[in-house]
Amino acid sequence: MKLLMAPASPFVRKVRVVLRETGQLGAVTEVAVSTTPVASDPAVVAANPTGKIPALLRDDGPALFDSRVITRFLDARAGARLYPEARIWEVLTLEALADAMMDAAVVMVYEARYHTPEGLSADWIAGQWDKVARSVAVIEDRWMAHLAGPLHIGQIGVACALGYLDFRHPDRDWRAQAPELAVWFAAFSERPSMVETRPGL
Protein backbone atom coordinates (compact mmCIF):
# COMPACT_ATOMS: atom_id res chain seq x y z
CA MET A 1 0.00 0.00 0.00
CA LYS A 2 1.07 3.65 -0.45
CA LEU A 3 0.41 6.49 1.96
CA LEU A 4 0.23 9.89 0.24
CA MET A 5 1.55 12.11 3.00
CA ALA A 6 3.45 15.16 4.17
CA PRO A 7 5.41 15.00 7.46
CA ALA A 8 4.13 18.41 8.58
CA SER A 9 0.48 17.35 8.53
CA PRO A 10 -1.02 16.46 11.93
CA PHE A 11 -3.66 14.27 10.26
CA VAL A 12 -0.90 12.40 8.42
CA ARG A 13 1.04 12.08 11.68
CA LYS A 14 -1.85 10.18 13.28
CA VAL A 15 -1.59 7.59 10.51
CA ARG A 16 2.21 7.40 10.72
CA VAL A 17 2.01 6.90 14.51
CA VAL A 18 -0.61 4.15 14.08
CA LEU A 19 1.54 2.41 11.44
CA ARG A 20 4.43 2.32 13.92
CA GLU A 21 2.38 1.40 16.97
CA THR A 22 0.69 -1.49 15.14
CA GLY A 23 3.81 -2.85 13.44
CA GLN A 24 2.56 -2.19 9.92
CA LEU A 25 5.33 0.03 8.58
CA GLY A 26 6.44 -2.80 6.30
CA ALA A 27 3.07 -2.90 4.56
CA VAL A 28 2.97 0.77 3.59
CA THR A 29 5.29 2.97 1.54
CA GLU A 30 5.18 6.59 2.67
CA VAL A 31 5.06 8.84 -0.43
CA ALA A 32 5.63 12.52 0.29
CA VAL A 33 3.52 14.91 -1.80
CA SER A 34 2.74 18.61 -1.75
CA THR A 35 -0.94 19.49 -1.99
CA THR A 36 -2.55 22.81 -1.09
CA PRO A 37 -6.03 24.34 -1.30
CA VAL A 38 -4.86 26.33 -4.33
CA ALA A 39 -2.73 23.64 -5.98
CA SER A 40 -3.99 20.11 -5.37
CA ASP A 41 -1.50 17.37 -6.21
CA PRO A 42 -2.84 15.28 -9.15
CA ALA A 43 -1.88 11.99 -7.48
CA VAL A 44 -3.82 13.04 -4.39
CA VAL A 45 -6.85 14.12 -6.44
CA ALA A 46 -6.81 10.77 -8.25
CA ALA A 47 -7.19 9.12 -4.84
CA ASN A 48 -9.23 11.75 -2.97
CA PRO A 49 -11.25 14.30 -5.01
CA THR A 50 -10.98 16.82 -2.16
CA GLY A 51 -7.21 16.85 -2.78
CA LYS A 52 -6.41 16.29 0.89
CA ILE A 53 -3.83 14.07 2.56
CA PRO A 54 -3.53 11.54 4.08
CA ALA A 55 -4.86 9.11 1.48
CA LEU A 56 -4.06 5.42 1.52
CA LEU A 57 -3.69 3.66 -1.84
CA ARG A 58 -4.58 -0.02 -1.54
CA ASP A 59 -3.75 -2.83 -3.97
CA ASP A 60 -7.17 -4.45 -3.69
CA GLY A 61 -9.73 -1.67 -3.41
CA PRO A 62 -10.45 2.05 -3.66
CA ALA A 63 -8.13 4.51 -1.96
CA LEU A 64 -9.07 5.25 1.65
CA PHE A 65 -9.45 8.67 3.30
CA ASP A 66 -9.79 10.64 5.53
CA SER A 67 -7.36 10.09 8.41
CA ARG A 68 -9.99 8.61 10.72
CA VAL A 69 -10.99 6.00 8.12
CA ILE A 70 -7.33 5.14 7.52
CA THR A 71 -6.45 4.76 11.21
CA ARG A 72 -9.54 2.61 11.78
CA PHE A 73 -8.67 0.46 8.76
CA LEU A 74 -5.10 -0.02 9.99
CA ASP A 75 -6.31 -0.80 13.51
CA ALA A 76 -8.75 -3.43 12.19
CA ARG A 77 -6.11 -4.89 9.86
CA ALA A 78 -3.74 -5.40 12.80
CA GLY A 79 -6.37 -6.19 15.43
CA ALA A 80 -4.68 -3.54 17.53
CA ARG A 81 -7.67 -2.40 19.64
CA LEU A 82 -6.99 1.33 19.28
CA TYR A 83 -10.81 1.63 19.17
CA PRO A 84 -11.69 -0.30 22.33
CA GLU A 85 -15.35 -1.42 22.40
CA ALA A 86 -15.63 -0.76 26.14
CA ARG A 87 -14.77 2.95 25.76
CA ILE A 88 -15.65 3.45 22.09
CA TRP A 89 -17.91 6.50 22.39
CA GLU A 90 -15.50 8.42 24.58
CA VAL A 91 -12.55 7.42 22.40
CA LEU A 92 -14.37 8.48 19.20
CA THR A 93 -15.34 11.80 20.80
CA LEU A 94 -11.76 12.47 21.86
CA GLU A 95 -10.60 11.57 18.34
CA ALA A 96 -13.15 13.99 16.87
CA LEU A 97 -12.11 16.74 19.30
CA ALA A 98 -8.46 16.30 18.34
CA ASP A 99 -9.35 16.46 14.63
CA ALA A 100 -11.37 19.63 15.20
CA MET A 101 -8.40 21.20 16.97
CA MET A 102 -6.22 20.26 14.01
CA ASP A 103 -8.75 21.67 11.54
CA ALA A 104 -8.81 25.01 13.36
CA ALA A 105 -5.03 25.14 13.70
CA VAL A 106 -4.52 24.28 10.00
CA VAL A 107 -7.13 26.86 8.91
CA MET A 108 -5.18 29.51 10.81
CA VAL A 109 -2.07 28.61 8.85
CA TYR A 110 -3.95 28.69 5.53
CA GLU A 111 -5.60 32.00 6.41
CA ALA A 112 -2.17 33.57 6.83
CA ARG A 113 -0.59 31.73 3.87
CA TYR A 114 -3.27 32.23 1.24
CA HIS A 115 -4.59 35.69 1.95
CA THR A 116 -2.99 39.03 1.20
CA PRO A 117 -2.27 41.03 4.36
CA GLU A 118 -5.25 43.28 3.68
CA GLY A 119 -7.39 40.23 3.01
CA LEU A 120 -6.50 38.67 6.36
CA SER A 121 -9.34 38.43 8.83
CA ALA A 122 -8.05 38.86 12.36
CA ASP A 123 -11.50 37.92 13.68
CA TRP A 124 -11.46 34.71 11.68
CA ILE A 125 -8.03 33.73 13.04
CA ALA A 126 -9.07 34.68 16.60
CA GLY A 127 -12.21 32.60 16.24
CA GLN A 128 -10.21 29.57 15.15
CA TRP A 129 -7.78 29.92 18.04
CA ASP A 130 -10.70 30.24 20.46
CA LYS A 131 -11.84 26.79 19.34
CA VAL A 132 -8.36 25.40 20.02
CA ALA A 133 -8.01 27.11 23.40
CA ARG A 134 -11.47 25.97 24.55
CA SER A 135 -10.68 22.42 23.47
CA VAL A 136 -7.41 22.40 25.41
CA ALA A 137 -9.19 23.73 28.50
CA VAL A 138 -11.96 21.10 28.25
CA ILE A 139 -9.47 18.27 27.82
CA GLU A 140 -7.64 19.53 30.92
CA ASP A 141 -10.94 19.82 32.76
CA ARG A 142 -12.87 16.73 31.74
CA TRP A 143 -10.87 14.32 29.64
CA MET A 144 -7.63 13.59 31.45
CA ALA A 145 -8.97 10.31 32.84
CA HIS A 146 -9.71 9.21 29.27
CA LEU A 147 -6.12 9.94 28.26
CA ALA A 148 -4.96 7.36 30.78
CA GLY A 149 -4.88 3.62 30.19
CA PRO A 150 -3.92 1.44 27.25
CA LEU A 151 -3.05 3.16 23.98
CA HIS A 152 -6.05 4.29 21.93
CA ILE A 153 -6.71 6.57 18.99
CA GLY A 154 -7.98 9.42 21.18
CA GLN A 155 -4.58 9.68 22.86
CA ILE A 156 -2.80 9.59 19.49
CA GLY A 157 -5.12 12.28 18.09
CA VAL A 158 -4.72 14.64 21.03
CA ALA A 159 -0.93 14.20 21.01
CA CYS A 160 -0.69 14.91 17.27
CA ALA A 161 -2.93 17.97 17.66
CA LEU A 162 -0.82 19.37 20.50
CA GLY A 163 2.38 18.63 18.60
CA TYR A 164 1.01 20.63 15.68
CA LEU A 165 0.26 23.61 17.96
CA ASP A 166 3.90 23.58 19.08
CA PHE A 167 5.07 23.24 15.48
CA ARG A 168 2.92 25.86 13.76
CA HIS A 169 1.77 28.12 16.62
CA PRO A 170 4.74 28.18 19.03
CA ASP A 171 3.84 31.75 20.02
CA ARG A 172 0.55 30.55 21.51
CA ASP A 173 1.18 29.07 24.95
CA TRP A 174 -1.46 26.34 25.26
CA ARG A 175 0.39 24.85 28.27
CA ALA A 176 -0.33 27.90 30.45
CA GLN A 177 -3.96 26.80 30.84
CA ALA A 178 -3.35 23.06 30.82
CA PRO A 179 -0.50 22.04 33.15
CA GLU A 180 -1.74 18.46 33.64
CA LEU A 181 -2.20 17.98 29.90
CA ALA A 182 1.29 19.39 29.34
CA VAL A 183 2.76 16.71 31.64
CA TRP A 184 0.79 13.99 29.86
CA PHE A 185 1.89 15.27 26.43
CA ALA A 186 5.57 15.41 27.43
CA ALA A 187 5.47 11.77 28.50
CA PHE A 188 3.43 10.58 25.49
CA SER A 189 5.82 12.42 23.14
CA GLU A 190 8.64 10.14 24.26
CA ARG A 191 7.07 7.15 22.51
CA PRO A 192 9.32 6.11 19.59
CA SER A 193 6.33 6.45 17.23
CA MET A 194 6.00 10.10 18.26
CA VAL A 195 9.74 10.81 18.18
CA GLU A 196 10.09 9.30 14.68
CA THR A 197 7.19 11.34 13.29
CA ARG A 198 7.90 14.70 14.93
CA PRO A 199 7.11 17.50 12.42
CA GLY A 200 9.96 19.63 11.24
CA LEU A 201 12.43 16.75 11.58
Binding site for ligand GSF (CB under 6 A): 9-11, 35-37, 40, 51-54, 66-68, 99, 106
Q: Which is nearer to ligand GSF, 98 or 139 (CB)?
A: 98
CA 6 to chain centre: 12
Q: Which is nearer to ligand GSF, 66 or 90 (CB)?
A: 66
Rounded to an integer, what distance in angstroms lies between the CA atom of residue 101 and that of residue 188?
18
Shortest distance in whole angstroms from residue 113 CB to ligand GSF: 10
Q: Which is nearer to ligand GSF, 150 or 170 (CB)?
A: 170
Shortest distance in whole angstroms from residue 33 CB to ligand GSF: 9
Candidates 22, 11, 18, 13; CA nearest to 67 is 11
Candidates 163, 168, 201, 152; CA nearest to 185 is 163
Q: Which is nearer to ligand GSF, 53 or 97 (CB)?
A: 53
Shortest distance in whole angstroms from residue 65 CB to ligand GSF: 6
Candidates 117, 126, 133; CA nearest to 165 is 133
Shortest distance in whole angstroms from residue 186 CB to ligand GSF: 23
Rounded to an integer, what distance in angstroms lies between the CA atom of residue 34 and that of residue 42?
10
